[in-house]
Amino acid sequence: MRKLSKYLLGDFLLVFGTALLLITFAFSIGALYKAIDYMAKGLPVAVVGKFALYNLPYALAYTIPISALFSTLLLFGRLSSDSEVSALKSGGLSLWQIASPILLTALGLVVVCLYINCLLYPRTTFETKKLLKSMGVEDPIKLLDEGRFIRDFPGYMIYVGKKNRNKVKDLVVYEVDKDSGEINATVRADSGVMTSDRENSLLKIDLFDVRIEVPDAEHPDDASKTHYVSFKKYPIRIDLSELMNRGTVEKSKKNSTIFELYYKIRNYREEFHQMRPRDQEVERCRYLVEANQKICLAMGVFTFVLIAIPLGVKSHRKESSLGMLMSLGVVFVYYLFIILSDTFDSDPHLRPWLIPWIPIVLGQIGGVLLIRRAN
């Protein structure tokens, strides 16, 4: 049994290492392109090297599960095609015993991915953000991420529903008093166009189909006395000089470790006290979605391997093209649920943080049933 485990692990790790190298390189092409662009802008090679290194955990968060899936399909497809699985089963071994070294390796990879997704990846992305800001190459428009409230801009709290380059939709802008932290006005717009004026340190936002809500000065909490004003077009000009001179960079959900996410989820009323109760619930929901996604992306390694074992045995072919096709199909379905959780993250009643767990649970149940059937 020990020789069999060594034989299977040797083949698996060889294919896994090759696949990981190739797929990670493909994922990193965008980061390499940015690194070359920063070098063209005159940034030091050491800084560009840091930028490329900090982007590596982001790629590994996705490439490790895909590589494990692809490697398992190829390994058990070859074993089945060469009748080695049949020979081992006729010798008294079950498919569970044959696959046990690969399943244990997958559990080890889950631990590695949990560390990368929950701790390493958030820290390196935050370091990248600080690095770009310190070098003055961070575009202020890029600070406006989709689906979260941005509090980087002094005097404003901005939420962007959808963003396509410099065009935004479903925009909400809170004008906040810098001293008291009270909301002076709420600007809601169906769409808008953003441009950055680096020479004058301005972020220009031209909004369309705008409704402005101004609370009553004497009764700010009474919604019935709120004043409403509508505009076809409404310009907002944000002074970036204070932002550029400020040393701190606010963490987004993507930049937060699992412990920081848990803290904000548990203390969301204190963390988001400037927002209205409805917006507080929505923001808590988004942090829950992010936390569950990080865990589910790591759990995907074991799920992928569990599904790939019976699929590889059933394929009965050596062609890598079939293994690649199966891999793409499984990956597409799995990541589709991740995208769905992002799509519904603004509706707490739907509990979108549970959506990423659907393919995990169904995949593992399906994998166990398929292995039992193949046995």
- What band does 294 get if pLDDT is binned at 50, 70 and 90? very high
Instruction: Say what the pTM is.
Output: 0.71
Question: Rounded distance, CA 58 to CA 51, Å?
Answer: 12
Per this entry, what is the length of the chain?
A: 375
* DSSP conformational letter for 116: I
Mean confidence (pLDDT) of the chain:
81
Q: What is the mean pLDDT of residues 178-204?
A: 78
Residues facing residue 195 across a β-bridge: 204
How many Å apart are CA 320 and CA 306, to the nearest integer? 19
Query: What is the maximal distance between C-alpha atoms in the chain?
Result: 85
For residues 45 and 9, what is the distance between their CA atoms, to the nearest angstrom?
39
Count CA atoms within 13 Å of residue 164 on its CB side: 4
Domain ranges of the chain: 2-136+287-374, 153-246
Tell me the two tokens of residue 41. 């802008």
pLDDT value of position 292: 95
Question: 45 or 285, which is more confident?
Answer: 285
Q: Over the stretch 38-70, which tens digit does the pLDDT of each residue have?
A: 666 556 677 677 777 888 888 898 899 999 998
Give every CB contact of residue 272 below 8 A, 6+ residues apart in sequence. 149, 279, 280, 283, 284
Per residue in 223-251, pLDDT (tens digit) is 566 777 888 888 888 776 666 555 556 67
- Any idea which of 84-93, 98-107, 263-272 has the lowest mean pLDDT? 84-93
Q: Is the dihedral of CA 360, 363, 369, 373 positive or negative?
A: negative
d(CA 212, CA 210): 7
